[in-house]
């Protein structure tokens, strides 16, 4: 368990640093109305997920909170809407500012989030036996796809 939490912190840190690098190199925001729309939808998804999640706190380490498994709101469709929103936001930004360095930083964002998701799911299975059944009927990041 401790190893999973440690790796989850590393995944989180890597993702945040890559997002900061994208912002620093002006590769995350765009003037394109299409890109802005996608990013606003990603922010809306994150807010919806956070509101559905309630007052439970955010943890730097993947640490399932007490109070039951959340399966309503965006969690009905995808298991990790907050990570999905971060990735959607970053993908749209990089698409509007495509370069090799920005694509590399996007890969790092996705890799760090993927590590975090992997660790979190293992910990959720341990805390919530019903998570396995929930995982079978929902997708990780994109409804009906993945």
Element holding 37 (H helix, E strand): helix 33-53
Nearest Cα to 119, choosing from 59, 73, 71? 59
- Give the integer Cα–Cα distance in Å for 120 and 88: 19
Quick one: tokens of 77? 């469709």
Query: What pLDDT, on a 0 to 100 scale, did the predictor assign at position 1?
Result: 66
Q: Kindly give the confidence (pLDDT) of every residue in the chain, 146 residues in length, as a single tens digit, with 9 standing for 90 and above.
A: 689 989 999 999 999 999 999 999 999 999 999 999 999 999 999 999 999 987 766 776 777 777 789 999 999 999 999 999 999 999 999 999 999 999 999 999 999 999 999 999 999 999 999 999 999 999 999 988 88
Query: What pLDDT, on a 0 to 100 scale, did the predictor assign at position 65?
Result: 74
Query: What pLDDT, on a 0 to 100 scale, did the predictor assign at position 15?
Result: 96
Query: What pLDDT, on a 0 to 100 scale, did the predictor assign at position 76?
Result: 96
Quick one: tokens of 103? 């694509």
Query: What pLDDT, on a 0 to 100 scale, did the predictor assign at position 53?
Result: 83
* pTM of the full structure: 0.92
């Amino acid at each position: 368990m401790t190893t999973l939490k440690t790796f989850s912190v590393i995944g989180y840190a890597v993702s945040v640093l890559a997002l900061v690098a994208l912002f620093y190199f002006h590769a995350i925001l765009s003037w394109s109305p299409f890109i802005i729309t996608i990013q606003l939808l990603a922010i809306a998804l994150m807010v919806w997920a956070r509101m559905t999640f309630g007052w439970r706190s955010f943890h730097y380490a993947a640490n399932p909170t007490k109070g039951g498994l959340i399966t309503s709101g965006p969690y009905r469709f995808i298991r990790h809407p907050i990570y999905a929103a971060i990735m959607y936001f970053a993908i749209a930004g990089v698409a509007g500012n495509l370069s090799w360095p920005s694509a590399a930083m996007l890969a790092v964002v996705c890799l760090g989030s993927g590590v975090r998701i992997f660790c979190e799911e293992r910990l959720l299975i341990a805390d919530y036996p019903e998570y396995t059944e929930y995982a079978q009927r929902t997708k990780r990041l994109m409804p009906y796809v993945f």
